[in-house]
Amino acid sequence: MRTFRSRKITRRQFAAGSAVFATVAVMPGIRVAAQDATPAASPATIAVLNDGAPESDLEIFSWWTGPGEHDGLVKLYEAFNGLFPDVKITDAAVAGGAGSNAKAALSTRLEGGDPPDSWQSHAGKELQDLYQGPGYAEALTDIWNTMGLDDVIPQGLNDQVTVDGEKYLIPVGVHMGNVLFANKQVATDNGLEWTDTITSDDFFAMADTLKEAGIPAIALGSKDSFASVQLFENTLMSQLGGDAYTGLWDGSTDWASDDVTTAIETFGKYLDYVNDDHASLTWDGAMDLVLAGTAFATSMGDWAYGAAVAKESTDVLAWAAHPGSDGLYVSVMDGFTLPKDAPHPVNAENWLGVVGSAEAQATFAPYKGCIPARTDADTSGLSDYGQWSASQFGSAQVVASIAHGAAASPQQALDITDAITSFLVDKDVAALQDALNMAAQDAQ
């Protein structure tokens, strides 16, 4: 159960350069699900970046409508309203995992000169090609510098939000994309041995045992096309290793190589063990099967852990890196933009001040399933899972995601998605490899 206490907010303003800050004591008193720790409710400092009069409204665009992701977003809204109680926040989220519908809806708005006050974006190619390049996103370097984010955002993430020396995104959280979440009871009931480092061979041996028991080893929700791409990229990266996988994006690794063929074959093998109804389920529907024990595991980003938090079901879960990918961390960084011509410019800047703050990130992460993007955010509120993923982020080789915008251009990612969607039906290894190769050549 979640409980809330009223907040006491006090401010002491002082000038810093052209920006004005307020020191704000926020006492969130927020509890997450019983099995997860409570974020520290200590007084915090959230910078008020723009001390102009707040406008009446703030419109925020995202695709965070699913369990966990929506709860996290609400925590950010609460942090903003803690500072600006009179501002009415409009949640303009468009449903569809990984932005499958939201990105198109947002493009239509941006092309029509109707931006929200801020929108969710991934770092990397998505940010550049969809928003910075066409001129929809304003450089927010001044905000970045005012908040001192160079000191607290890891360099790899920092680089992904930088174009020609300017910053375009305020990071809020980082997800691990290559996690295998499994149901512990299913393992026990079927005599499976769960270890922290699972190879593909280990996994397929377990999958064969489960097949005899009539239990799908892999829960897939391919109604969200990104979910199949996620399973594929996790398999591809496991087969190639971090360096060769990264080489796919700068042309130094050949998409026509035998290793890519093997990865496609392995991906095909996973599909032999998926739930029959995968085409009618979304990513969280697939996670529900795991939580219910009607499927064994799902290969997904750790927003799926946020969904388990929302359903108060984290107790049933075991986790490990996707089979064969121990030592790799597919990073999926979420952040918020500053539009050109924001309808409510004071609120838009102050929204970024909130989402970029250590306090808001510490409160957001346990619900969202991510870790805070800032290295100085309080992580004591993270669950055992969150602590594990934070340690992976600190120790593993970080690689970029196809399904979540960072590795490939939006067009290449779309071509890859289409090819994988066809493969779900035809299982034609050569055709998929040709299509992947072609998509890479078109992207050059």
- Tell me which residues touch ligand GAL (CB under 6 A): 63-64, 66, 69, 97-99, 122, 175, 301, 303, 332, 334, 404
**Is the Cβ of residue 241 or residue 369 nearer to ligand GAL in the bound state?**
369
Q: How far apart are CA 104 and CA 386, in angstroms?
A: 32
As measured in angstroms, the least distance from the Cβ of 205 to ligand GAL is 30
Q: How far is CA 419 from CA 15, 335, 436, 441, in A?
A: 54, 28, 7, 14
Nearer to ligand GAL (CB atom), residue 118 or residue 266? 118
Residue nearer to ligand GAL on the CB measure, 54 or 177: 177
Smaller CB separation from ligand GAL, 226 or 423: 226
Identity of the amino acid at 48: V
Nearer to ligand GAL, 69 or 288 (CB): 69
Rounded CA separation 76/96 (Å): 20
**Hey, how many other C-beta atoms are within 10 angstroms of the C-beta on 8?**
10
- 3 state SS for 110-171: HHCCCCCCEEEEECCHHHHHHHHCCCCECCCHHHHHHCCHHHCCCHHHHHHCEECCEECCEE
Nearer to ligand GAL, 269 or 311 (CB): 311
Paired tokens of 206: 């377990």
C-alpha to C-alpha distance for 147 and 46, rounded to whole angstroms = 10
Q: Which residue is nearest to ligand GAL (CB)?
A: 98
Nearer to ligand GAL, 21 or 393 (CB): 393
Which lies closer to ligand GAL via its Cβ, residue 230 or residue 314?
Answer: 230
Minimum separation from the CB atom of position 48 to ligand GAL (A)? 26
Cα distance between residue 106 and residue 93, in whole Å: 10
- Nearest approach in angstroms of CB 408 to ligand GAL is 14
**Residue 444 Cα distances to 248, 249, 403, 439, 440, angstroms:** 12, 10, 19, 9, 7
Phi, psi of 16 (to 5 degrees): -145, 105
User: Structure tokens of 23?
Assistant: 């020191």
Q: How far is the CB of 123 from ligand GAL (least distance, A)?
A: 10
Least distance in Å: CB of 301 to ligand GAL?
Answer: 6
Work out how close the CB of 242 gets to ligand GAL at its nearest, in angstroms, rounded to a whole number. 20
CB of 104 to ligand GAL, least distance (A): 14
Write out the two tokens for 9.
């907010």
In the bound complex, what is the minimum distance in angstroms from residue 122's beta carbon to ligand GAL?
6
